[in-house]
Structure 1
Amino acid sequence: MKKYIAEFIGTFILVFFGTGSVIVNEQYNNALDLIGISFAFGIVIVAIIYSLGSISGAHINPAVTMTLLIGKLIDKKDALFYMIAQFSGAIIASLLLHSIFPNNLELGATNPSGSIVQTFVVELVSSFVLMLTILGVTQKETKVAAGLVIGLTVTGLILFAGPISGGSFNPARSFAPAVISGNISNLWIYLSAPLVGSISALLIWNLMSLGKNAVR
């Protein structure tokens, strides 16, 4: 049960402060800008990984959990309850943000600024890079640096992807503000592209590892 609570709390924190930074930027004259929002997400992820990672692994992302299930690094029961906890934590965070900022129409929801194809490809490739980083940095010899590396990777990815897709790479992060704000027309992109990108990273990781560090 502790690991499910950890996933709930971790995803709550990610969405509250991550999408919260988007809301603050909108309502306070671009006080954070893209750089500030990117670092808000990245720094929060570093904190979550180092505080909760030893309990649940700090997936805080259904696409990561599903990919690890496919790679047989988590069992079906844990994967199911992880994803329930992740979506629940994200929804509670968005509901709290809505109560704090009742006049904000999007609550930090991700929406395409470019075309649908651009957005899908950017989300897919960014999720691929994120998952590949997670698989690489969580090996024994580099595990101690995992939180910092993953947090900085997310920061860099949002700096690139933010102006195009909003920079999600996480179905729970996009699902909660979209549903609570009622902006669901493009939600399918942010549910599907991260999953395709993450699973692709697993396949490439196994191919490159040639059995040495392959995830089975």
Structure 2
Amino acid sequence: MTGAPAEATRFRHFHDQLGALKARLLDMSERAEALVETAVEALLAHDMAKAERVLAGDRDVDALEIQVEALAVELLALQQPMARDLRFIISAIKVSSDLERVGDHAVNIAQSAIRLSKLAAPPGPAPALEDMARRARKMLSDALDAFVRADGVLGREVCRADDQVDALHDSVFRILLTHMMADPRTINASLEYLLVSRNLERVADLATNIGEDAVYLAEGKTIKHNLEHAGDPRPPREPR
């Protein structure tokens, strides 16, 4: 009868490790989301102390990615998971990589804020950038929630929300293009603001990747690159 208690202990240990993996992913998501928020605040308020905090905080996200990968590999090697647990662990490695890249985009925004502080920059498209940042952060939060809870419906909602961020990015581009055409002296600053917009758009893309992974986890369906609609006349999404 010793086999049953040992198996029960192994089962509990496995699920404790899964819980730890989920907790680290949630921690990564919260930190990456906070870095994006702080970077945009630094940009709009010309707060260089906040920009420097983003540069320092990115190292914590990098460290968490390594922890997630190590725990996931240990689970794969020692526990031999199957079905949804296997899909979760494999996807967790991909999600941690996406979250690490979100931190990198926050760093890019903070670096733009630092460069803009040294320019005689006119006011940028602040309302649109704030809206983009708010939407991208919400997408990121919802995507991780969908992934951890294996909520395919929420994952699909995240994917649909990406269109709104793309539209805002296009709007920012048009605004900045108008500024540059009207006054060439604004070109350097406008290009920095455009870079910020592009980085926010990429954060939304990465959140979409996680939303797609949530759908895969929940439903076993791959919706990346519009593969769910094979033969559908609609064009595939732009690759990321």
- Structure 1 length as normaliser, TM-score? 0.32
Structure whose alpha-carbon radius of gyration is higher = 2
Q: Which protein, 1 or 2, shows the higher relative CO under an 8 Å CA cutoff with sep ≥ 6?
A: 1
- Structure 2 length as normaliser, TM-score? 0.30
Question: Which structure shows the bigger proportion of residues in helix conformation?
Answer: 2
